[in-house]
Structure 1
Amino acid sequence: MTSTTSQLQRFFYSHYFFGGLRQSVGVLLPALVLWGIFSWVSGGFIAAVGAGCVAILDQPGGPRRYGINGMVAALCLCSVTTAITGLASSYALAIWVVVPALCFAFSMLTVYGKHGGLLGFACLLIMTLTMRTPMAPAEVWSYTLISFLGGTFYLSYSAIAHRVLWHREEQQALSVALFATADYIAARARFYDVHLDIEDNYRQLIRAQTAMTDAHQVARDMVLRELPQGTQSRGDRLRQGLLNLFVDMVGLLDSMVATHTDYATLRQQLPDSDILLFARDAMNKLANNIAGLALNVARNRHTRIRNSVKAELRAFEFELQSLRDAGTAQSDPELYALLVQVLRRLRNVTNRVDHMADHTHRQVAVASDNTAANKTLNRFLTQQKWRPDTLLRNLNMQSIHFRYALRVAAAAMIAMAIGLVMGHAPIVRTLDPGMAGHSYWIILTVLIIMKPGFALTRQRNGWRLMGTLLGCGMALVIFAVVQNEALYIFILIACSILGYGLVQVNYTLSALSNTTLVLMAFHLLIPGSTAVVGERLLDTAIGSVLALGCSYILPSWERHNLDTLAGALRKANLAFLQSGLDYVRTVRGIRAGVPGTDEQEAQIRWSLARKNVHLAFSNFTAAFYRMMDEPVRKQRHVPELNRLLIQNHTLASQIAAVIPNLAQMDDEPKGIARAIQATQDLLRGYEASPPKVIETEGGLATIAYPLRQMTQAAQVIRENTCKIEADDKPLPGTAAAQQG
């Protein structure tokens, strides 16, 4: 269990907090200058809104060119949205047409993934803040110009900040990835504790691997976006040092997932052996060492490994020798080979961690010509494509993005109707006349909470409500205790930094900070008024109920996507196996003197296929757990999908273990060849019979165990896939069957 202090250190040294600080400065600086120096409160607010909408696209991590392009797109689209909404705000009929239309159009941008969703939300945010007060045409153009200038300031500020602080950002992204790797290793250490439930360990391991995959992808996009150019400048040396750390981190990951250990067998055959405890303690120490390395990378400090695992490794070797003396290597060669494999993996990880620590205090040399290496590494970057045909293909009721856009548009219309009724209701106007001017908060709450998936909407709904409630309570305490305007401004800035920094880490705390920020701003504008706290809470509650209720309009249940994601994961594993076999043939061809073979290219293709497996597994895992958060009656094939989840994880691990061993052979025996072919056939959906006997003579026992696990995993995957397809197939005589 990671301590609270460690979690706080992770956050404050991460690119999340650093990004939140950067975003807050860029958003608040125009407002503070216009307000504090020129006493132009309204102009400062408008400029801050424009800057804040552009800042939404300035997310920590990811290729820089996508960030700049996204902010430029946000600046242009938000300005157009501001003008359209402002011109329509004075006409009741026009605003009722424009708002739902914009909600639909910008919600459709989710077809382009995370960046598309952020761009759409930025436009919807500025639409909501613009519609709060009707404006004359002349006011609209001045409002749009000030907002545009605020966004332009943030774009320029962000480009300069990234240019100056690029090394710090990459260090922090790499640190987050290293922390995630440490968590993954700690999750694997739990399997060697016989007192912990294996199924619960698997759930924690899969979640840790998913988080690690996402963190590695962010680090990959940041570290590989600007590679060393072959000069000996300080910038190139810094880039080379981070690249070396990243490569070793990926190698460390490969060492950890290169096999899927049969922990149940180990517990069953070695229940009282200390060898499992030594493995657990060694992995926990390694996880702590990596976490310490991650913290020092974020703090730009040197690392000296202090928690040595030599004692655990030597104790492991002693226990292994005792088993060998007892004849285990002959009586149960696969068990003995499995333990040898665990020991080798621990040694490899130990050496890799020591090597990574050396990178933090060793002078880095840059190769004179990195052109070929840079082109190779660029293939691992995330590719973002904005094609018009992608949007057009999703303009139908079968698309989850189209249905989501319709839900958002419908929710916005209902929110506008509720706000209109509240604004004209006599009891509301009597109790709180200000409610009529804050009804746009309902729409804003709906837009913040609603997501394409039901589970995400419900999850964010709870987080938002809790954060708003806590934020309102905190604001009331601050208003009662603090009477100093300078301290109010300090608290406002702190809340802004935490609001931006925590949005990807803890949404509840981010909502708490943002709520306090908004209430502090209103309190500074209208001193002594606390009615806005109740208005904020009531509007948020109404918006939350509305967002959750509208989630049942044309809902998109995760069960409809899981079959596709499971198929994509199976194909990714098949491609991983095939590219690995291509690598094996290439290595054998080089040993045989076959001309025209390129080992490096074959290894790169295998590495790319492995990355694709990790991403496909992460997508499938996230969707599966989202389905588990949906109503029980909407869940489908839970046991089968859970088995697919575990067995695909096993399969990928065993493929990573088998390929290097195959590459060392000049030719594989008949049983091994049949097992590999059977695995390929099963993954293609064909029937196959794996060999009952796989050769274990000599060193073949090392490959026999992972190969048997690989074929068993492929069989389970095919069986469960066929069962799901059979259950989904319409019965003869039904309407669906007749239509087909």
Structure 2
Amino acid sequence: MSTTFFPQLQRFLYSHYLLGGLRQAAGILLPVIVLGGGFQLYGMGIIASMGALCVAVIDQPGGPKRYRTNEMLGGIALGTVTVALTTFAAGSLWGTWILVPILCFFFSMLNVYGPRGGLIGFACLLLMTLSLREPTSGDTVLLHTLFSFTGGLFYFAFSLLFRHLLWLGEERRTLSMALHATAKYMLARSKFYDVNSDLDATYRDLIKAQSSMAELQQSARDMVLRELPKGLKSRGDQYRTTLLVLYTNMVSLLDTLVATHTDYHTLRRKLGESDFMEFAHDALQKQSAEVVRIALNVSRRKKTVQRISVKAEIRAMEYELERYKQKGMQQQDPELYGLLLQVLRRLRVAKQTIDHMAANTKRTGTDIPLDQYLDKSLSRFLSREEIHLGLFRSNLRLSSSSFRYAIRVTVASILALAVPALAAQFTNTTESLNSLANQSNWIILTILVILKPGFAQTKQRNTWRLGGTALGCLLTFILFSVTDNKEFYFIALLLAYVMGKSLVQLHYLLSAAFLTISALISFQFLYASSTFVISERFIDTLIGCAIALLCSYVLPKWEASSMSSFARESLQANRHYLTTGLQYAELNRQYQQAVQLQASNPDSEPVDAALVAQLAEADTQWQLAKRQVYISFDNFASGFYRMMDEPASRQWNVALFNNLLIQNHVLASQISASIPLLATLESIPPGIDEAITAIQGILHDQTVENTSPTLETEGELAMLAYPLRQMIKASQLIQQDMKGLDMAEHTQPLLTAS
């Protein structure tokens, strides 16, 4: 247990999740502490904290600072309008019934602008729910709106000050989380060399690890590349250079690992439980552990002193490879020998990259070629989030998943208002129903938290929310039964709120439990209520979960309806990746020839500057294409696993999509392995050129006569023959599965809604 629990605990303590939870909890609780404790304005303090809560929801870890600043300011503006409208309408039953569905629809539609837009919409809906209290007069509405606006502004200023004082702390922690994800990916890849592991299960684990890694690396990219060093010798510039170098090393390490993909069925069949396989497995595991240590030291701003060495494994692999060579493998099976040689070389390169990362964990040395990073058009690698009103209008149609989601939330909010209205008819009968009628805001809050655009997400959130609420209610009941010490309650409230906000993105069930504890303790402070309030909240949660689950079947957008487009986007990304890679390789060969010509004849013309510029641009285009491959594959994989969580009757062509997922992954990996080798050749041999032409033809769904060309395997060409054969095989399987998908689409009705 200690081998897994303590590293995870250490990772959490130094993560940007805990840092963000501390920032959010402090920024939300300070208004009520200052106004309530200092001026006895507890009511206004709570309202100010509600305004701060709206902005805190938007202030999530990750993402560019500039975008988040604009998002928080937009949240303050929309939140203030929401508070004004909600508190004004709260005085009228019909006003509430009209306004709440309208706001639910409008803010749910903000999902068209991506996850960040969805956060703004959720924050405003949360503020709307918390403002559904007793009727208020005109002066009270103005005062309520003013304090909510002030609370939002306070949190905005507090968040900026918090980041300024910590100074690149969030950037370091974001990069650390991306390194942790890279280490997890390395660990998943090491299992391929374990002959006792199931290959299909290992593929699934690898794809999930790659999907998670791609998202975290994009967050790190957005953070680091927007904080580039300015070429100065200041302390701040040194830290920015350190982050940049660690990031580029991380990307280089990923490229090295991706390019080692192979046909593990063949490898296991031919080598079995050989020492080479065992040493490769152990080397990758050790390197994964070393990257974890580097990630922790990055977040703590400490230098990595003691390193986990893989010299023994690499030397043992060298010995095994020499033994295979003496037995004649290089002549009898040159492709297998070239593959093993490539695995060894990649592990050497990975070792050098990790050693370089460890040496520069705290402060970058003076041997860093910084100009090669700053001269490139790095801005093209950053994610863009632009808001256009036309995007909102164009999604106001039934075929839009965001529109369907907004309809579901609207229907759910109407049902949430109807439940307490019906319960009010029995207020003279039971105290429980009377209390329920006054707590519709908790039901709506539960619905907003659970109901997500995807059916699988809603189902998963429903289970986690219900389980977390039950756990939180149980722990709070135990707390109230053990002690009535108010100081202890306050400490528990602070700890629960910090943990609840920190675990939202990591473990939602525990987050729901901690937030339930903090909410119930808050009710205890506000109303000095008995433990009956615990059962109230649990009943409200049950009703909210039931409504959310019911409404998830209203105009659902099943993942199966999007899988075909995901598959085609992934194929198109691989086509572009191959095309840009071949262009880069061709220009690199021309450049090397020009350099050799100049070296052999000093009086000749210097290397054409235009050729150098074209080569740099081609390299950048190839890297951009690779980034798009990761994005499209992540979308494909995420959509596939979401579909697998949906009802079996809504899962369409599972085997086809699973095969396409694996073969697109294989194809991208082999492109990454072959392009650098092609770029170093003086000329392309006829057999290899024919294979490249065949691959391009198959990927464009053309008829290719010769799909088994005779490949040259002399010397280093043996290392190129294997990835080319794998690319031909993967391309053929993709072509076959895409044809099968086209046939299925014509014979099966498209799954959209029930």
Q: Give the TM-score category using the shorter length.
A: over 0.9
Classify 1:371/1:69 alpha carbon distance in 2 versus 1 (closer, same or farther; 3 Å).
farther
Amino acid of the structure 2 residue aligned with 1:717 = I
Q: Please point out which of 685, 689, 696 is paired with 1:673.
A: 689
Instruction: Find the aligned partners of 2:311 and 2:681 in 1 and give their Cα distance.
Output: 32
CA distance in 2, matches of 1:528, 1:118: 33
Provide, for residues 176-213 of structure 1, a one-character-per-residue CA deviation record: whole Å limited to 9, x for no partner: 11111111111111111111111111111111111111
1:208-262 per-residue CA deviation (whole Å, 9 max, x = no partner) reads 1111111111111111111111111111111001111111111011100013121
Report the secondary structure of 2:711's partner residue: coil
SS in 2 for 1:652: helix
**Residues 466, 192 of structure 1: alpha-carbon distance in 2 compared, 3 angstrom cutoff:** same
Q: 2:286 corresponds to which residue?
A: 285
Matched-pair contact (CA < 8 Å) for 1:177–1:216: yes
Deviations 1:91-135 (A, max 9, x none): 222211111111111111101110010011011111111123222
Q: Secondary structure at 1:729's aligned position in 2?
A: helix
Match of 2:719 among 702, 717, 731: 702
Opposite residue 439 of structure 1, the aligned amino acid is S
Shift of 1:362: 4.8
The corresponding residue for 2:604 is none
Identity of paired residues, percent?
A: 46
Deviations 1:299-347, CA, capped at 9 Å, x for gaps: 1111024321111111111111111100011101111111101100110
CA–CA distance in 2 between the matches of 1:699 and 1:167?
Answer: 45
CA distance in structure 2 between the aligned counterparts of 1:367 and 1:164, rounded to whole angstroms: 28
How far residue 674 of structure 1 moved from its aligned partner, in angstroms, is 2.1
State the 1:169 CA deviation. 1.0
Q: 1:375 Cα shift?
A: 6.0
CA offset at residue 730 of structure 1? 5.1
Aligned position for 1:564: 565
What is the root-mean-square deviation in Å for CA atoms of aligned residues? 1.9
Alignment partner of 1:442 is 2:443: yes
Match of 1:688 among 704, 710, 730: 704
Residue 445 of structure 1: how far off its partner (Å): 0.7
1:621 is aligned to 2:631: no
Contact 1:428–1:435, Cα closer than 8 Å, also in 2 = no
**Post-superposition shift, 1:157?**
0.9
Give me the whole-angstrom Cα distance separating, in 2, the residues matched to 1:13 and 1:727: 49
Change (3 A) 1:212 1:400: same
* Structure 1 residues 137 and 365: alpha-carbon distance in aligned structure 2, compared to 1, 3 A threshold: farther
Counterpart of 1:677, as a letter, is T
Instruction: Check if 1:85 corresponds to 2:86.
Output: yes
| Contact 1:74–1:123 (8 Å) recurs in 2 | yes
Q: Is the counterpart of residue 252 in structure 1 residue 269 in structure 2?
A: no
Mark the CA change 1:419 to 1:678 in structure 2 (over 3 Å): closer, same or farther.
Answer: farther
Structure 1 residue 686, shift from structure 2 partner: 2.7
SS for the counterpart of 2:229 is: coil
2:414 aligned partner? 413
Q: Is the 8 A contact 1:644 1:717 kept in 2?
A: yes
Give distance in 2, aligned partners of 1:165 and 1:660: 41
Q: Deviations over 1:275-321 (max 9, x none)?
A: 11011111111111111111111111110243211111111111111
Which moved further from structure 2: 146-155 or 487-496?
487-496
Instruction: Summarize the alignment of residues 103-182 of structure 1 with structure 2, pairs less than 5 Å apart.
Output: 103-182=104-183
Q: Which amino acid aligns with 1:725?
A: D
Write out aligned runs for 1:447-462 (5 A): 447-462=448-463
Give the drift of 1:360.
2.1
Q: Secondary structure of 2:675's match?
A: helix
> Does structure 1 retain, via aligned residues, the 8 Å contact 2:195–2:273?
no
Q: Which residue of 1 aligns with 2:746?
A: 729
Task: Please give the alpha-carbon distance, in whole angstroms, between the structure 2 residues aligned to 1:701 and 1:374.
Answer: 36
Q: 2:357 matched to 1:356?
A: yes
2:48 aligns with: 47
Contact (CA 8 Å) 2:427, 2:433: kept in 1 or not? Answer: no
Which residue number corresponds to residue 12 of structure 1? 13
2:319 partner SS: helix
More displaced, 117-126 or 85-94? 85-94
Question: 1:105, 1:405 within 8 Å by CA — same for their partners in 2?
Answer: yes
Which has the larger displacement, 715-724 or 590-599? 590-599
Corresponding residue of 2:390 = 389
Distance 1:410-1:683 versus aligned 2 partners, 3 A rule: same
Matched, 1:712 2:729: yes
Q: Name the structure 2 match of 1:332.
A: 333
Which of 649, 667, 680 matches 1:651?
667
Report the AA paired with residue 312 of structure 2: A
Q: Is the partner of 2:60 in helix, strand or coil?
A: coil
Looking at structure 2, the residues matched to 389 and 81 of structure 1 have their Cα atoms a distance apart, in angstroms, of: 23
1:224-235 aligned within 5 A: 224-235=225-236
**8 A Cα contact 2:238 2:363, kept in partner:** no
Shift of 1:365: 4.4
- Cα separation, 1, equivalents of 2:402 and 2:374: 39
Is the deviation greater in 370-379 or in 356-365? Answer: 370-379
Amino acid in structure 2 at the alignment position of 1:389 = G
Query: Following the alignment from structure 1 to structure 2, what is the Cα–Cα distance between the partners of residues 630 and 414?
Result: 24
Instruction: Give 1:660 shift.
Output: 0.4
Distance 1:272 1:527 in 2: 67
Deviations 1:49-75 (A, max 9, x none): 100001111110110011100000100
C-alpha spacing 1:226/1:306, structure 2 compared with 1 (3 Å)? closer
Asked if 2 retains the 8 angstrom alpha-carbon contact of 1:230 and 1:367, the reply is: no
Aligned partner of 2:694: which letter? A
- C-alpha displacement of 1:429: 4.0
Measure the CA separation in 2 of the matches of 1:37 and 1:486: 17
Letter in 1 for 2:169: R
Residue 543 (1) aligns with residue 560 (2): no
CA drift of 1:697 comes to 2.3
Q: 1:230 to 1:576 in 2, by over 3 A?
A: same
Which one-letter code corresponds to 1:29 in the other structure?
Answer: L
In structure 2, do the counterparts of structure 1 residues 446 and 226 end up closer, same or farther at CA, with 3 Å as the change threshold? same
Alignment-mate amino acid for residue 688 of structure 1: V
Q: Which runs of 5+ in 2 are unaligned?
A: 595-606
Task: State the distance in 1 between where 2:164 and 2:378 align.
Answer: 22
Distance 1:85 1:366 in 2: 60
1:710 positional shift? 0.9
Distance in 1 between residues matched to 2:362 and 2:555, nearest whole Å: 57
* Residues 607-618 of structure 1: pairs in structure 2 closer than 5 A: 607-618=623-634
Please list the CA deviations of residues 488-521 of structure 1 after superposition, one character each: whole Å capped at 9, or x if unmatched: 1111111111111100000001101110010010
Length-normalised TM-score, structure 1? 0.96
* C-alpha contact 2:523 2:529 (8 A) present in aligned 1: no
1:496 match: 497
Match of 2:311 in 1: 310
Residue 137 of structure 1, CA deviation = 2.2
User: Could you tell me whether the CA contact under 8 Å between 2:426 and 2:433 is conserved in 1?
Assistant: no
Is the 8 Å Cα contact of residues 459 and 549 (structure 2) preserved in structure 1?
A: yes
Give the counterpart letter for 2:690 in structure 1: R
CA–CA distance in structure 1, aligned partners of residues 571 and 96 of structure 2:
48
Q: Relative to 1, partners in 2 of residues 1:528 and 1:86: Cα closer, same or farther, differing over 3 Å? A: closer
Structure 1 unaligned blocks of 5 or more: none
CA separation in 1, counterparts of 2:166 and 2:218?
A: 20
SS at match of 1:384: coil
Distance in 2 between residues matched to 1:692 and 1:585, nearest whole Å: 21
Q: In the alignment, is the contact (CA less than 8 A) between 1:53 and 1:74 conserved in 2?
A: yes
Alpha carbons 2:423, 2:433 under 8 Å: kept: no
Q: Amino acid of the residue matched to residue 126 of structure 1?
A: L
CA distance in 2, matches of 1:190, 1:368: 35
